[in-house]
Structure 1
Amino acid sequence: MNVDKIAILPGDGIGPEVTREAVKILQTLSEIDSTFQMETKEFNWNSDYYLEHGRMMPEDGLDQLKDFDAILFGAIGDYRVPDSVTIWNLILPIRKHFQQYVNFRPVKLLRGMESPLKQDNPIDFVIIRENSEGEYTDSGGNMFHGETREMAIQNTVMTRQGITQIAEFAYQYAREHGLTKVTNATKSNVVVHAMSFWDRMVEEIADKNKDIAYEKYYIDALAAYFVQRPKSFEVVLASNLFGDILSDLGSAIVGGLGLAPSGNINPSGEFPSMFEAVHGSAPDIAGKGIANPMAQIWSAALMLEHLGRRDLHDAVLTAMEEVLEEKKVLTPDIGGTASTVEIGDVIAGKLKKIMG
């Protein structure tokens, strides 16, 4: 029997709290379904580790992770350590070295949730964000510190390979899921070099997939359309920065960051993919036991789908929706008084009924 090897990186702040509940759901599934078996190993690489060792992970950290089938990541961020350290020395090395060039973010209004938008149409689309280059590179520098002529340069790096492979993934995803349109997020009218290149590469792939409709919007207009007519989108393709911003906007129109999952995907399977909630470490509520674990549980469900278990993914979402529809056990961010642990317990209970 196949056993999935999963690395657990709980991280900082509420990361360990929500990750425990996600692992609880995975363990519940393994108890219910004998065909799903897993082995987990926890790696406590976080800000405490940095303060003790002067680095976010061991020198051979990536080697320790590379043979796992997937990574479940909690959150990172601590006021004692600069974000430039936590992000650039843990999350980004994993994404880049493991070629997780797809950041996959569903924007879906689950049953039982109400959108702040006044509309009755379902909201259900995905944002596919380029995850390895673009605006998030360390190419650049500072000069003349403290002087009146002080300056900073941050370079955007876009390559034919990087854009082509993310565009191909977007079209492949659309075709495999019976979707009919890909929307390109751009700003080539003013970012004339990088974004014009992005558009040209994306449109080369669009021309090879004419059975799927293609449209292009400038990022400012697209942000407005997310609010005005979210039902019109199916697959939104975006660069690293634009995808990051649009994803948070997307989560806001379907219930907030407590319900915002993501996957950092290596499509070839050569290296493990990593799944994490979008909300970050939320230090203001860490330790209070009130963080909403649904985003992390949904991220674990995305991991299950990536591992070939779409059935288990669907069961988890059904259980979550039943909890949301009942409105009896909800965390404070979505109008309730329940604890993080109580949410995990009630979703686990629903799964036992659904799959039992």
Structure 2
Amino acid sequence: MTSASIAVVAGDGIGQEVMPAAIRCVDAVTAHYDVSLDWREYDWGSDFYRRTGAMMPVDGIDQLSKHDAIFLGAVGTPDIPDTETLWGLLIPIRREFQQYVNLRPARTLPGLTPVLRADQPIDMVIVRENNEGEYSEIGGRYARGTEAEAAIQEAVFTRTGITRVARFAADLAVTRRGSLTSATKSNGIVHTMPFWDEVVAGVVDEVAADHPGLTLRNVLVDALAAALVLRPWDFDVIVASNLLGDILSDLASAITGSIGVAPSANLNPPRRYPSMFEPVHGSAPDIAGQGIANPIGQIWSGALMLDHLGQPRAAAHLVAAFEQALADGVRTRDLGGTAGTEEFVTAVLANIDSVGPTLDAQQEERQP
């Protein structure tokens, strides 16, 4: 039996609801593949902050380092500034564990009516640089409360940071349709963005030497945002800086149906440290506790985690199970349906048993 240790941080708001729902689904699917996950729950988040003045204990990173992966729910609450909740939990985990790739797939899901006209199926992955760029800690506020008050925020782009995320994106594109798009704003941001363009192009040239089918196009981010709305099916893999990737990935998720379905993986590709898996949606305090939260983002993040742990068949099985629920018309309110969290999970659990034989048959057909 294969086993792995998973740190669980359900966090705030609907995280407390979608996390146990997703764990039930992950456990149900791993039972089919002789995989055992040891879940270790940590009660960190806004309630922990109210009790202790911190989002996690001083040795929190050390505790998490003992696990194979981290499964995160949602972080944030209206009465605590985001500078405390995000910079006290999520961002330190990403940076201390060098999770420099934020992977966000977005694609057309069965049974969902697209928000926009969709002439063709959408299937893209956004690779967001996750450790530097525009989200640096360098800067400050000056002359507070005076007419001369100013705020300065420095963006930091390193050759190492750009190279490693560009190589990940290029390698990923090679395994898909071979098309890589780089988001830039080099016509307006005159230092960091031309540097980004140069390093990305150099990396792609190296990868393309062994994979001549790989193509790269640089697109200004404003034009890219418009193209995602008008022709999202044209895109395969998009690589972007921290800020641009954050914005574009939310847009891509909304286009495909709802940000509530969007998963993400914060990856340390060399696997020296644990990677973290979380839905893109926030804590949604306006619907927390009502039993209506969409669990797909958390479930799909669980599938990304299984794939990272070396269980691609279990991951595909879990995705097929929630896609079948959608195809059967079981949808939460954000997707235009009436199902609650529990009703959707019940459908997924039933499908885990029923779609397994179909997946096995498809696998056999692919064998040479």
TM over 0.5: yes
Offset at residue 317 of structure 1 (A): 1.4
Q: Distance in 1 between matches of 2:342 and 2:63?
A: 30
Contact 2:132/2:156 (CA < 8 Å) preserved in 1? yes
Deviates more, 1:71-80 or 1:113-122: 113-122
Alignment of 1:92-241 (within 5 A): 92-175=91-174, 177-210=175-208, 211=212, 212-241=214-243
- State the match for 1:339 in structure 2: 340
Contact 1:132/1:240 (CA < 8 Å) preserved in 2? yes
Q: Does 1:82 align with 2:84?
A: no
Helix, strand or coil: the match of 2:31?
helix
After superposition, give the CA deviation of every residue in 1:153-187 in whole Å (9 maximum; x if it has no partner): 00000000000000010111122x23211100000
Task: Give ranges in structure 2 of 5+ residues lacking alignment.
Answer: 358-368
Identity %, equivalent residues: 48
Contact 2:29/2:318 (CA < 8 Å) preserved in 1? no
* TM-score (norm. length: structure 2): 0.94
Offset at residue 112 of structure 1 (A): 1.5
Moved over 3 A (4+): none
- State the match for 2:362 in structure 1: none
Offset at residue 76 of structure 1 (A): 0.4
- State the match for 1:9 in structure 2: 9
Offset at residue 110 of structure 1 (A): 1.1
Alignment of 1:169-318 (within 5 A): 169-175=168-174, 177-210=175-208, 211=212, 212-318=214-320
After superposition, give the CA deviation of every residue in 1:9-68 in whole Å (9 maximum; x if it has no partner): 0000000100111101111123333x2111010001010100101111111000000121
Contact 1:13/1:281 (CA < 8 Å) preserved in 2? yes
- State the match for 1:330 in structure 2: 331
Contact 1:108/1:123 (CA < 8 Å) preserved in 2? yes
Contact 2:6/2:71 (CA < 8 Å) preserved in 1? yes
Q: Distance in 2 between matches of 1:92 and 1:241?
A: 13
Offset at residue 305 of structure 1 (A): 0.8
Helix, strand or coil: the match of 2:186?
coil
User: In angstroms, what is the RMSD of aligned CA positions?
Assistant: 1.0
Contact 2:30/2:314 (CA < 8 Å) preserved in 1? no
Q: Distance in 2 between matches of 1:92 and 1:178?
A: 29
- State the match for 1:348 in structure 2: 349
- State the match for 2:363 in structure 1: none
Offset at residue 309 of structure 1 (A): 1.1
Offset at residue 193 of structure 1 (A): 0.4
Contact 2:260/2:296 (CA < 8 Å) preserved in 1? yes
Alignment of 1:37-76 (within 5 A): 37-76=36-75
Q: Does 1:27 align with 2:38?
A: no
Offset at residue 87 of structure 1 (A): 0.4
Contact 2:185/2:220 (CA < 8 Å) preserved in 1? yes
Q: Distance in 2 between matches of 1:24 and 1:120?
A: 36
Offset at residue 231 of structure 1 (A): 1.3
Q: Distance in 1 between matches of 2:30 and 2:176?
A: 30
The one-letter amino acid paired with 1:26 is V
Helix, strand or coil: the match of 2:70?
strand
Contact 1:67/1:271 (CA < 8 Å) preserved in 2? no
Q: Distance in 2 between matches of 1:226 and 1:100?
A: 26
Task: Give ranges in structure 1 of 5+ residues lacking alignment.
Answer: none
- State the match for 2:360 in structure 1: none
Offset at residue 132 of structure 1 (A): 0.2
Contact 1:109/1:123 (CA < 8 Å) preserved in 2? yes
Helix, strand or coil: the match of 1:25?
helix
The one-letter amino acid paired with 1:8 is V
